[in-house]
């Protein structure tokens, strides 16, 4: 018999418990278990007035933002609609079935105001990281670092050549991203080479050439992860260039050591982090083993001698060429001793012109120069350490483990939908990257600690 829904008189009383409507294995139950806001109000209290009307609870707004970043809801307007309709979201936000959801405009006001001034998002990220450490998910033995490009909220058409003199108008009337750019202009941009193009809506974004596609404006998100479980130890926003990404890695490692006493014994990275200065910083200053390929262009052509064909004698401070001749730093005495270090932080070792002229190996050594010379970095000892590690089985294992960073970037863009920023300026990129990294750490904790392992049942024939 076909049933029909009864549409009689409505009930007078309803017994409804929102707790019963959220499944036990729902992601937000695990996130709620590991997300601690016990000291959030104390952290934000100096930024609120003691008088006036009560504001919206900052914990509620951050809980809603966590939902957005955990489930890839990029629009704050849509996020408010989803929280209003979804019972699990209401439960996580501590809202009853009748409570009103904050308007989407409150997020912008608080994000650009109290949250940014107080470093609230950094505080939440570090609170989650401490929980990861207490749960034993951070070992601290090995770290990996890498950077990924994320498109900025800036159209390609709204740009100008980098060497163009732009009249930004009154600094007090321009948009926030332009104010941030102008404030940092004297410190960074005027001492560096002008970019190829600059956006008038987000001037700090980098003009990036994409392989196989049109160029675009972007920022880099830099991750420093612990290799045990792939937990993100720190995150930093930077311009899209190698020097800025290396500087971001240094800043993240210093911050992890100062705040959490985390100092790894090895750092894993790609060739972008294999410069002489970076390797010198790791080996000489931090005593960290670099599992990083060395940036080396000293080997030359296949049919000619490279630097590896020359023998280094540290005590004599010289090189010996394949023919047995000496390459020295200086060949005459000066009244005032000279350091002999170039602006590129290298020392030049030169062979004697008379030795090279009569050498039968000159065609393979320096066919177009009167004498052979070798540029040796002041960090060459650290580079030798990295070269030796490159040949070991431990490096092969580290190269496999480095994929954990790449997996996190793929998850960031494909699952969390952060392939394009919504906020502009360096601080906007910083806020988005912090919230996304917090969501990734929470999801990783839930997957590793809350959810039971899958059961594989094997059915037997009767």
CA-CA distance, 410 to 454, in Å (whole number)? 24
The answer to whether residue 65 scores a pLDDT higher than 80 is: yes
The pLDDT of residue 329: 85
Band (462; pLDDT cuts 50, 70, 90): very low
Mean pLDDT value across residues 202-206 = 88
Look at 94-103, 182-191, 332-341, 384-393 and tell me which has the smallest mean pLDDT. Answer: 182-191
What proportion of the chain, given as a percentage, has pLDDT over 70?
88
Q: How many CB atoms lie within 10 A of CB 128?
A: 24
Q: What is the pLDDT of residues 404-421, one digit of tens each?
A: 999 999 999 999 999 999
Both tokens assigned to 362? 């000159």
**Rounded mean pLDDT of 360-371?**
89
pLDDT tops 60 at residue 213? yes
Question: pLDDT band for position 298 (50/70/90)?
Answer: confident
| DSSP β-bridge partners for residue 220 | 149, 238
pTM: 0.87
Check: CB of residue 194 under 8 Å from CB of residue 233: no
Give the chain's count of helices (H) and strands (E): 17, 13
Range 57-74 average pLDDT: 93
Greater pLDDT, 49 or 394: 394
CA distance 265 to 232: 17
Paired residues of 216 in beta bridges: 208
Indicate the burial class of 406 (C-beta count within 10 angstroms; 0-12, 13-18, 19 or more): middle
350: enclosing H helix or E strand: strand 346-351
DSSP string, 17-65: -GGGGS-TT-HHHHHHHH---TTHHHHHGGGS-SSSS----HHHHHHHH
Tell me how far CA of residue 391 lies from CA of 305, 384, 402, in angstroms: 21, 11, 17
Q: What is the pLDDT of residues 178-194, one digit of tens each?
A: 777 776 665 554 446 77
Kindly state the DSSP code that residue 323 receives in the 8-state scheme.
T
Q: Please report the pLDDT score of residue 117 as a whole number.
A: 84
Cα separation, 84 vs 78, whole angstroms:
10
The confidence band for 128, taking pLDDT boundaries of 50, 70 and 90, is very high
Q: Determine the average pLDDT of the residues in 219-244.
A: 95
Pairing mode of beta strands 142-151, 266-268: parallel
Residues 131-156: tens digit of each pLDDT: 999 999 999 999 999 999 999 998 88
Please determine, for residue 69, whether its predicted confidence score (pLDDT) is greater than 90.
yes
- Which residue did the predictor score with more confidence, 6 or 282? 282
Query: What would the mean pLDDT of 386-411 be, rounded to a whole number?
Result: 94
Mean pLDDT of 108-133: 89
Count other Cβ atoms within 10 Å, centred on residue 228.
15
Question: Is a pLDDT exceeding 80 seen at residue 20?
Answer: yes
CB-based contacts of 322: which residues, under 8 Å, 6+ apart? 305, 309, 310, 361, 365
């Amino acid at each position: 018999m076909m049933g029909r829904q009864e549409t009689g008189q409505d009930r007078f009383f309803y017994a409804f418990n929102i707790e019963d409507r959220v499944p036990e294995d729902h992601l937000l139950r695990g996130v709620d278990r590991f997300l601690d806001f016990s000291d959030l109000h104390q952290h934000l209290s100096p930024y609120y007035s003691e008088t006036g009307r009560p504001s919206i609870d900052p914990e509620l707004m951050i809980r809603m933002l966590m939902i957005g970043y955990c489930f890839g809801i990029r629009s704050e307007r849509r996020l408010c609609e989803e929280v209003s309709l979804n019972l699990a979201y209401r439960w996580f936000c501590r809202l009853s079935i009748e409570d009103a959801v904050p308007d989407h405009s409150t997020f912008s006001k608080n994000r650009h105001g109290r949250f940014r001034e107080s470093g609230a998002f950094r505080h939440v990220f570090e609170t989650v990281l401490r929980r990861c450490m207490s749960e034993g998910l951070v070992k601290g033995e090995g770290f990996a670092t890498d950077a990924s490009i994320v498109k900025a909220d800036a159209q390609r058409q709204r740009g100008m050549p980098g060497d163009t003199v732009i009249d930004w108008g009154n600094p007090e009337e321009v948009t926030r991203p332009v104010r941030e750019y102008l404030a940092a202009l004297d410190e960074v941009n005027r001492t560096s080479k002008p970019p190829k193009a600059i956006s008038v809506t987000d001037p700090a974004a980098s003009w990036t050439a994409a392989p196989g596609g049109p160029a675009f404006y972007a920022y880099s998100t830099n991750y420093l992860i612990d290799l045990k479980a792939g937990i993100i130890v720190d995150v930093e926003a930077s311009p899209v260039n190698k020097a800025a990404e290396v500087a971001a890695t240094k800043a993240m490692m210093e911050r992890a050591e100062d705040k959490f006493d985390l100092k790894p014994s090895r750092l894993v990275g790609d060739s972008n982090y294999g410069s002489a200065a970076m390797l010198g910083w790791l080996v000489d200053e931090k005593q960290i083993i670099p599992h990083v390929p060395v940036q080396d262009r000293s080997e030359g052509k296949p049919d000619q001698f490279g630097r590896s064909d020359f023998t280094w004698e540290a005590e004599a401070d010289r090189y010996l060429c394949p023919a047995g001749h000496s390459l020295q730093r200086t060949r005459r005495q000066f009244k005032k001793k000279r350091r002999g270090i170039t602006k590129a932080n290298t020392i030049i070792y030169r062979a004697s012109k008379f030795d090279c002229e009569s050498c039968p190996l000159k065609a393979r050594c320096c066919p177009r120069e009167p004498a052979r010379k070798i540029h040796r970095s002041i960090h060459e000892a650290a580079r030798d350490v990295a070269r030796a590690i490159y040949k070991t089985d431990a490096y092969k294992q580290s190269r496999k483990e480095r994929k954990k960073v790449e997996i996190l970037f793929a998850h960031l863009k494909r699952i969390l939908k952060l392939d394009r920023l919504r906020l502009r300026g360096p601080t906007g990129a910083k806020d988005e990257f912090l919230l996304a990294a917090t969501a990734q750490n929470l999801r990783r904790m839930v997957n590793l600690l809350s959810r039971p392992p899958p059961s594989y049942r094997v059915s037997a024939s009767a």
